[in-house]
A and B are shown apart, each in its own frame.
Chain A
């Protein structure tokens, strides 16, 4: 047994209202740069829908993740090492920018500076790739709230697996939101696909990262990841991906997406797992057994043998304590309500989801029945094959049993807690019907409904004695266009040492505050004026005496 720690996340989909706050704050923090305009480390998809990038779940087309070969051995779906190298000059499975979307901006200046005329001026969309006018026809969440999905929904790879009748009924049935970040898998196929060895899984906390100095831009990680959560920065020619906000995690803060989540639906914490058991668990032949296999790779942090082994591996005491207090462990193993996203990709993903019960409740309530009665809900879960079937494709390789069990637990919790608040009765039989006790039910309710910040995010900091090293070292003048460096250098602005984040932020803020011109060519206006000086056109001409 080789114990390793993994920082993981669980998202409670029942609470997601699809507000995209996580996506926007993540983008502001990590990908508001040129070259990654089209990149959303965190995106929120409306399901059913085609996803971002379009149809990424169709592994027959994109060939991401792992599969078993004829001898039952684990291999990359897109072929082994030699096969990858043979296609290094042109990766046929790489999504093009149009599979994501063509990034754009608007010609805002037009709104302010066009001469007065009969028609209202229009800010035309301009492509950020070519600078030319473009027609916006797709984006990261174009089918948000099922918008336009009558035309695109049949491209949803999960629906394609279900029957025709289901497809036709689908839009009436239900929808829900699926926020996605990098899965920080235990068996990451992006890392396995990287020819340069630039991608790695951090031994301490399992975060999967790209070494920007070692990446050579071969792009195999992008096609290797079945979730398409590694992106190609087309300006620097390097791969970039969700970092699980490791600079924040290292100091004990939750990720930006979790911190800013309005619905408080995200949980962060450590789990301990047996690194030696990962390969065997990922090679289980029956796809329906993969979920259980992955659950069994995770180790009980309260087991003395596990604690002993964790100490032997040098895992610090406060990390073991954090693993014991982890909400992740409780949701995955104690309550078994959280499920992994697409276990059939065999990457052992470590961002898990609590499937949404609300579509079922809605159906029951809409028929005039009591949507909080446990029998009504149980019957509906049994009867509503469509949502369960779809959720099973998403979270259990098509096996409805784990999804049903999870939904039944959520339904039971709903009824049990209503009994307490309305009648002040603890109906133990409801809890027993899903194999739990009343006390467990209340604990789960507390964790899912009212858990505070410290309970939702149990993140052990990197050790205090390392803190000074976390600061960004190096010369603060040594940045692009700074006095320490003569501009962009001979290889273009994408070359050279990258700018420290703090310096970049400081200067961009300063530039914005003191800019006397808008970023698009044009005059200063009320929107971009910082109050300094008297920009031309903002004031009436001074009277000449």
Chain B
């Protein structure tokens, strides 16, 4: 095990994971106001209407595929009757379809961002850096699938990359598992790590605001002026922040 291997397959992923987690906590505590999708739909919606759902649905499929391929040991899948051949077919073709959807969506979105004046002006430097890493990760991932899985003999990453990740998660790193992995997979993993490190500082944080609670809350929300908003809320500053009442009145009309 070389130093380079240790750096690339142990130090880098862990460092990125730490930045990812701590960064999100920090951002949520100190920049709730900046935590938004920053939609540009008011400027332009014709292209967005195609590009955005394509990209988002595609990337959700991609994430689901990664969960199945990386986190679930193949023995478990064998146990429920999904053998190597079935998995390979599913992963390759569904994965390719998801990749096409995602990349086409991203292409539309980037084209839109570059050509529609107001949208381009609303693009921050951070957005641009993020697009580079997001695009690179998607590109290498798709390239690896195409080169090794679709047109190549097939590479069983579930014997190398997947166990490597699972060992990382339980803090027993085995960097040697990654050493023999084909180059495009390696590049895919590295760019993905860097993307994760960048994540909390970009608009990608909106992923963690997926409004699932909307399905379960009552339609009309009442909030009292004196209601505290829990840890991480901004300090009381503006009039619309909670205003404390005298102790005898506290919580008198909390709903």
Q: A: which residues have CB within 8 A of B? A: 76, 81-82, 84-85, 88-92, 94-97, 129-132, 187-188, 191-192, 194-197, 199-204, 209, 211-219, 232, 234-238, 243, 246-247, 250, 313-314, 462-463, 465-466, 469-470, 472-474, 490-492, 494-498, 500-501
Which of B201, B214, B229 has the largest number of chain A CB atoms within 10 A?
A: B214
A209 & B240 in contact (Cβ 8 Å cutoff): yes
B225 & A192 in contact (Cβ 8 Å cutoff): no
Which of B236, B239, B253 has the largest number of chain A CB atoms within 10 A?
A: B239
When the two chains form the complex, which single residue of B38, B40, B52 contacts A89, counting CB atoms closer than 8 Å?
B52
7 A-B pairs in the complex with CB atoms less than 8 angstroms apart: A203-B254, A204-B253, A209-B240, A232-B42, A246-B239, A466-B244, A496-B34
CA distance A349 to B21 in the complex (A): 44
- How far, in Å, is A273 (CB) from chain B's closest CB? 13
CB nearest to A94 among chain B residues:
B41
A500 & B237 in contact (Cβ 8 Å cutoff): yes
A213 & B234 in contact (Cβ 8 Å cutoff): yes
- Chain B residue contacts of A500, Cβ below 8 A: 237-238
B56 & A130 in contact (Cβ 8 Å cutoff): no
Supposing A90-B41, A216-B37 touch, asked if A131 and B220 sit within 8 A by C-beta, the answer is no
CA distance A167 to B229 in the complex (A): 52
When the two chains form the complex, which single residue of A91, A130, A212 contacts B121, counting CB atoms closer than 8 Å?
A130
CB nearest to A38 among chain B residues:
B42
A497 & B206 in contact (Cβ 8 Å cutoff): no
B214 & A195 in contact (Cβ 8 Å cutoff): yes
- How far, in Å, is A250 (CB) from chain B's closest CB? 7
B117 CB-CB contact with A under 8 Å: yes
- How far, in Å, is B128 (CB) from chain A's closest CB? 12
B253 & A191 in contact (Cβ 8 Å cutoff): no
When the two chains form the complex, which single residue of A132, A199, A470 contacts B239, counting CB atoms closer than 8 Å?
A470
B227-238 to A contact mask, C-beta < 8 Å, 1/0 = 001000111111
CA distance A214 to B206 in the complex (A): 12
CA distance A187 to B225 in the complex (A): 19
A88 & B211 in contact (Cβ 8 Å cutoff): yes
- How far, in Å, is B109 (CB) from chain A's closest CB? 11
- Chain B residue contacts of A235, Cβ below 8 A: 122
CB nearest to A232 among chain B residues:
B42
When the two chains form the complex, which single residue of A97, A197, A209 contacts B43, counting CB atoms closer than 8 Å?
A97
When the two chains form the complex, which single residue of B53, B217, B239 contacts A197, counting CB atoms closer than 8 Å?
B217
B243 & A191 in contact (Cβ 8 Å cutoff): no
B39 & A237 in contact (Cβ 8 Å cutoff): yes
- Place the interface of chain B in its size category: 35 or more
B42 & A97 in contact (Cβ 8 Å cutoff): yes
CA distance A313 to B253 in the complex (A): 7
When the two chains form the complex, which single residue of A132, A219, A469 contacts B244, counting CB atoms closer than 8 Å?
A469
B219 CB-CB contact with A under 8 Å: yes
In chain B, residues 21-55, which have Cβ atoms closer than 8 Å to a Cβ of chain A? 30-45, 48-49, 52-53, 55
- Chain B residue contacts of A473, Cβ below 8 A: 235-237
- How far, in Å, is B57 (CB) from chain A's closest CB? 8
- How far, in Å, is A75 (CB) from chain B's closest CB? 9
CA distance A201 to B227 in the complex (A): 13
When the two chains form the complex, which single residue of B43, B224, B236 contacts A202, counting CB atoms closer than 8 Å?
B224
CB nearest to B211 among chain A residues:
A195
B170 CB-CB contact with A under 8 Å: no
- How far, in Å, is B203 (CB) from chain A's closest CB? 8
CA distance A373 to B56 in the complex (A): 67
B172 CB-CB contact with A under 8 Å: no
B126 CB-CB contact with A under 8 Å: yes
Supposing A195-B211, A314-B252 touch, asked if A219 and B39 sit within 8 A by C-beta, the answer is yes
Closest 10 CB pairs of A and B: A495-B34, A195-B211, A237-B38, A192-B219, A130-B117, A213-B32, A217-B36, A237-B36, A247-B239, A200-B223
Supposing A192-B220, A200-B221, A246-B239 touch, asked if A495 and B42 sit within 8 A by C-beta, the answer is no
Task: Give chain B's interface secondary structure class.
Answer: loop
- Chain A residue contacts of B224, Cβ below 8 A: 202-204
Task: Give chain A's interface secondary structure class.
Answer: loop
The A-B contact count (CB < 8 A) is 195
A91 & B217 in contact (Cβ 8 Å cutoff): no
- Chain B residue contacts of A314, Cβ below 8 A: 249, 252-253
- Chain A residue contacts of B213, Cβ below 8 A: 197
CA distance A216 to B56 in the complex (A): 17
CA distance A200 to B223 in the complex (A): 6
A243 & B240 in contact (Cβ 8 Å cutoff): yes
B234 & A191 in contact (Cβ 8 Å cutoff): no
- Chain A residue contacts of B236, Cβ below 8 A: 469, 473-474
A237 & B37 in contact (Cβ 8 Å cutoff): yes
B209 CB-CB contact with A under 8 Å: yes
CB nearest to B116 among chain A residues:
A130
CA distance A238 to B108 in the complex (A): 24
- How far, in Å, is A208 (CB) from chain B's closest CB? 10
CA distance A209 to B211 in the complex (A): 19
CA distance A496 to B235 in the complex (A): 13
CA distance A521 to B123 in the complex (A): 23
Supposing A97-B42, A247-B239, A472-B237 touch, asked if A202 and B253 sit within 8 A by C-beta, the answer is no
Which of A188, A204, A463, A465 has the largest number of chain B CB atoms within 10 A?
A: A204
CA distance A236 to B203 in the complex (A): 12
A216 & B31 in contact (Cβ 8 Å cutoff): no
- Chain B residue contacts of A218, Cβ below 8 A: 37, 39, 211
- Chain B residue contacts of A200, Cβ below 8 A: 221-223
CA distance A91 to B224 in the complex (A): 30
B167 CB-CB contact with A under 8 Å: no
In chain B, residues 81-132, which have Cβ atoms closer than 8 Å to a Cβ of chain A? 117-118, 121-122, 124, 126
- Chain B residue contacts of A215, Cβ below 8 A: 36
A191 & B209 in contact (Cβ 8 Å cutoff): no
B36 & A129 in contact (Cβ 8 Å cutoff): no
When the two chains form the complex, which single residue of A130, A188, A232, A495 contacts B33, counting CB atoms closer than 8 Å?
A495
A469 & B215 in contact (Cβ 8 Å cutoff): no
Supposing A203-B253, A246-B240 touch, asked if A217 and B39 sit within 8 A by C-beta, the answer is yes
A497 & B37 in contact (Cβ 8 Å cutoff): no
A466 & B245 in contact (Cβ 8 Å cutoff): yes
CA distance A241 to B219 in the complex (A): 19
When the two chains form the complex, which single residue of A211, A474, A490 contacts B126, counting CB atoms closer than 8 Å?
A490
B40 & A491 in contact (Cβ 8 Å cutoff): no
A130 & B45 in contact (Cβ 8 Å cutoff): no
CB nearest to B121 among chain A residues:
A130
- Chain B residue contacts of A497, Cβ below 8 A: 30-31, 33, 234, 237
- How far, in Å, is A209 (CB) from chain B's closest CB? 6
- Chain A residue contacts of B152, Cβ below 8 A: none
B206 & A216 in contact (Cβ 8 Å cutoff): yes
- How far, in Å, is B31 (CB) from chain A's closest CB? 6
A196 & B214 in contact (Cβ 8 Å cutoff): yes
CB nearest to B253 among chain A residues:
A314
